[in-house]
């Protein structure tokens, strides 16, 4: 019981005893009973002590007991904390009413947060569905257009028939890529994609990818430089998935790089991980885009990205793959100056 409650409680007992002793005195006068004045005081103190004991018992055992029961039930409603236990945030408070109050406020705050989180997820889901249908619509409409032209006689026109079939084939490839990417994200998010972990030399992998994308880089006269203190840097990871990570980050550095630019890959072995940084001196990103860059379908310049065949799923897959290896990835960028992605890979 806190100070305010105690004084209210004493005041209540005092008033109750006063009422009782005045009534007794009044009744004695009414019934003409010879009642000494000091007896009124005795009755007052007697009633005071009795009512104090009685109400204290009632207050502590019955009311507080019920509040305690409700508190236990309320606590069970709290979200389970990260440690997996229901933490009692109010255990330091002695007054059950205060604890009850704090518990209700805490519960309503938690529910409010959950509600906001669910609203965010709902918006995210709507946005995601819109994006999927939009991205699939473009190649489908393209295929529809080419097929319709071929049916309308274009099939017999040697100038366009092969060309339109090739373009339709390209659109089919694009659809397959989107679906493959979505499948990978979904498997990574649900944890159904099991990693095939093995030891391999990451420097060799990077050199190999660089050779593969050399033609793409040469078109923009971008040089690819690999810096590492050792020629063999072993990591323990899923070879195929890590290849996907490098392929997307390196192809991004060229897609969003400037003519005559440079992409540098720095591989630094550390105590129990390998740190990798991939930086370019390309178009860069405004700071406001950085927190959203790893979201599915997020593209800064949709037109430019789509022109390059991008769907905005690459970085989302990259982040999921790195996190599936229990590692982290971060990005820093300055508009018109360049972008750097830093991530780690496990050694064991
Ligand atoms: P894809 O799914 O084919 O990879 P994408 O390259 O457009 O398509 P992400 O790799 O996820 O998608 O990249 C998302 C967006 O981030 C890009 O559209 C681009 O706007 C921006 N971005 C990514 N990397 C860079 C970079 N190195 N420099 C500048 N902008 C970048
Ligand atoms: Mg990409």
Q: Which two tokens stand for residue 323?
A: 């996190």
State residue 22 phi and psi, 5-degree precision.
-65, -40
Distance CA 156, CA 229 (A): 61
Residue 168 has a pLDDT of 96
CATH number of 123-190: 1.10.287.130
**DSSP per-residue letters across 86-102:** ---TTTT---HHHHHHH
pTM: 0.71
State residue 205 phi and psi, 5-degree precision.
-60, -45
Contact 308, 197 (CB under 8 A): no
Contact 346, 236 (CB under 8 A): yes
Distance CA 3, CA 196 (A): 65
Sequential pLDDT tens for the chain (348 residues): 666 667 777 888 888 888 888 888 888 888 887 777 788 788 888 888 888 888 778 877 788 888 888 878 777 776 554 444 455 556 666 677 777 888 888 888 888 999 999 999 898 888 888 889 988 998 999 999 999 999 999 999 999 999 999 999 999 999 999 999 999 988 888 888 889 999 999 999 999 999 999 999 999 999 999 999 999 999 999 999 999 999 999 999 999 999 999 999 999 999 999 999 999 999 999 999 999 999 988 888 766 666 666 788 999 999 999 999 999 999 999 999 999 999 999 997
Q: What class has domain 197-346? A: alpha beta
Atom of ligand 1 nearest to the CA of 313: 2
- Hey, whose CA ends up nearest to atom 17 of ligand 1? 299
Q: Please give the distance, rounded to the nearest whole angstrom, from the Cα atom of residue 299 to the centre of ligand 1.
A: 6
Give 78's DSSP letter.
Answer: S
Mutate which of 251, 252, 311 for ligand 1 pocket (most atoms within 8 A of beta carbon) = 252
The ligand minimizing its distance to the Cα of 254 is: 1
Domain extents in the chain? 3-78+90-111, 123-190, 197-346
Give the residues surrounding ligand 1 with Cβ less than 6 Å away: 248, 252-253, 255-256, 280, 282-285, 293, 298-301, 305, 310-316, 339
Atom of ligand 1 nearest to the CA of 341: 27
Q: Please give the distance, rounded to the nearest whole angstrom, from the Cα atom of residue 77 to the centre of ligand 1.
A: 42
- Hey, whose CA ends up nearest to atom 31 of ligand 1? 256
Q: What does DSSP say about strands 223-227 and 262-269: parallel, antiparallel, or unpaired?
A: parallel
Q: Name residues whose C-beta falls within 8 Å of residue 27's C-beta, 6 or more positions apart in sequence.
A: 33
2: left (phi over 0), alpha (psi -120 to 50) or beta: beta
Q: Please give the distance, rounded to the nearest whole angstrom, from the Cα atom of residue 302 to the centre of ligand 1.
A: 10
Q: Please give the distance, rounded to the nearest whole angstrom, from the Cα atom of residue 260 to the centre of ligand 2.
A: 20
Q: Please give the distance, rounded to the nearest whole angstrom, from the Cα atom of residue 223 to the centre of ligand 2.
A: 18
Tell which residue, 280, 272, 253, has the closest CA to residue 338.
280
Q: Please give the distance, rounded to the nearest whole angstrom, from the Cα atom of residue 304 to the centre of ligand 1.
A: 10
- Hey, whose CA ends up nearest to atom 24 of ligand 1? 252
């Amino acid at each position: 019981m806190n100070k305010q409650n105690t004084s209210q409680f004493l005041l209540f007992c005092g008033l109750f005893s006063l009422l009782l002793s005045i009534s007794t005195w009044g009744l004695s006068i009414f019934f003409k009973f010879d009642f000494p004045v000091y007896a009124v005081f005795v009755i007052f103190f007697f009633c005071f002590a009795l009512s104090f004991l009685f109400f204290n018992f009632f207050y502590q055992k019955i009311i507080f007991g019920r509040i305690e029961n409700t508190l236990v039930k309320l606590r069970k409603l709290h979200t389970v904390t990260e440690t997996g236990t229901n933490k009692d945030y109010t255990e330091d408070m002695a007054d059950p009413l205060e604890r009850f109050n704090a518990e209700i406020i805490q519960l309503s705050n938690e529910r409010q947060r959950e509600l906001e989180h669910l609203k965010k997820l709902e918006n995210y889901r709507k946005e995601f569905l819109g994006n999927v249908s939009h991205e699939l619509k473009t190649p489908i409409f393209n295929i529809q257009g080419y097929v319709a032209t071929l049916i309308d006689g274009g099939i017999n026109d040697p100038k366009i028939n092969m060309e339109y079939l090739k373009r339709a084939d390209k659109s089919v490839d694009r659809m397959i890529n989107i679906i493959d990417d979505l499948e990978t994200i979904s498997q990574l998010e649900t944890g159904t994609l099991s990693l095939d972990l093995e030891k391999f030399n990451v420097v060799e992998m990077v050199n190999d990818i660089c050779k593969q994308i050399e033609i793409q880089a040469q078109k923009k006269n971008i040089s690819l430089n690999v810096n590492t203190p050792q020629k063999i840097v072993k990591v323990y990871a899923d070879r195929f998935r890590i290849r996907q990570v490098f392929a997307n980050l390196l192809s991004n550095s060229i897609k969003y790089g400037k003519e005559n630019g440079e992409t540098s890959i720095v591989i630094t072995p550390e105590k129990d991980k390998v740190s990798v940084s991939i930086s370019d001196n390309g178009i860069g990103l405004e700071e406001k885009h950085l927190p959203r860059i790893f979201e599915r379908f997020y593209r800064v310049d949709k037109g430019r990205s789509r022109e390059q065949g991008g769907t905005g799923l690459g970085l989302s897959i990259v982040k999921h793959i790195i996190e599936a290896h229990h590692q982290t990835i971060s990005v820093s960028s300055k508009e018109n100056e360049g972008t750097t992605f830093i991530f780690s890979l496990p050694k064991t």
